[in-house]
Homo-oligomer: A and B are copies of this chain.
């Protein structure tokens, strides 16, 4: 395992994918537009204008192009994937009462929760319209399955909140559902429209799944050791919301009596006082947990790359390997 530190900036995106992504941006703009309701457009301009890595649509585009696909269907599916993702973000921000998203005020904060709930629904519906226009029932099945899995995992995460006896397995179930399900659906539908064999589609699906798990583990780590300005959202959100993620789950497993009392106060009793986040971070560092979590994330990234072994080897495959590296080496 090589802990490469390729950053997103140095990522070499093949021209064909750059061109595809530009077209996807146009589709996102055109297909999210509401002729009837200006507020929807204002909210979506704010959300889509705030950037975002477009990681998931990139996966759909890559999977299709990797297989030599020359058509256009993958563009609509890539946009549909980003719509599903954005819908879940908008609803997540309501659920978590987030104030920041992608370095800007969250939509629920700028408008209100009601607007965010309904605009999220609008995006879900628009995503399915896009899928329909891609004319692939098999892709629709994959993406509607993923959407159901995401919602299930989000409820599970809610149920697990403030329960400090959550295991690593339970954590994995949540992140597989809330994150990896859409990553793997994104690669799968790219493979499907790209005309892949069942075996290739399975390998692409597994690639997305492993990548998504690594990505989310890194995301959860960054919530402790990242910086707000890089991350575009607040550091310590999970800590403040009582959301048990891998760093804390590992820390609780190793905790001495004093630490146990600390974690219990924060995560079960919901009592957080000044200096607690710093204290948590100090424990994570002292006990080597930051490194342990990073190592786990890298392992998933490596596992993802292994799934590419029998797929065609071209510039897109190289790009996907780089993407797997970047997804766990990123700072935001």
Chain B residues with Cβ below 8 Å from A121 are 87-88, 91, 120, 124, 147, 150-151, 154
In the complex, the answer to whether A152 meets B122 with C-beta atoms within 8 Å is yes
Chain A, residues 136-157, CB within 8 Å of chain B (1/0): the string is: 0100110011011011111110
Chain B residues with Cβ below 8 Å from A145 are 129
Q: List the B residue with the shortest CB-CB distance to A40.
A: B155
Q: How many chain A residues have a CB neighbour from B under 8 Å? A: 46
Give the docked Cα–Cα distance between A120 and B151 (Å): 9
In the complex, the answer to whether B36 meets A118 with C-beta atoms within 8 Å is no
In the complex, the answer to whether B39 meets A155 with C-beta atoms within 8 Å is yes
Q: List the B residue with the shortest CB-CB distance to A112.
A: B158
Q: A117 is contacted by which of B117, B126, B153 (Cβ under 8 Å)?
A: B117
Q: How many copies does the complex hold?
A: 2
Chain B residues with Cβ below 8 Å from A120 are 117, 121
Could you list some 24 contacts between A and B, CB below 8 A?
A36-B173, A37-B155, A37-B156, A37-B159, A38-B159, A39-B155, A40-B152, A91-B117, A95-B118, A114-B158, A118-B154, A118-B158, A120-B121, A121-B124, A121-B151, A122-B148, A122-B155, A124-B147, A124-B151, A126-B148, A128-B128, A128-B140, A129-B148, A132-B140
Binding site for B on A (CB under 8 A): 34, 36-40, 87-88, 91, 94-95, 113-115, 117-122, 124-126, 128-129, 131-132, 135, 137, 140-141, 144-145, 147-148, 150-156, 158-159, 173, 177
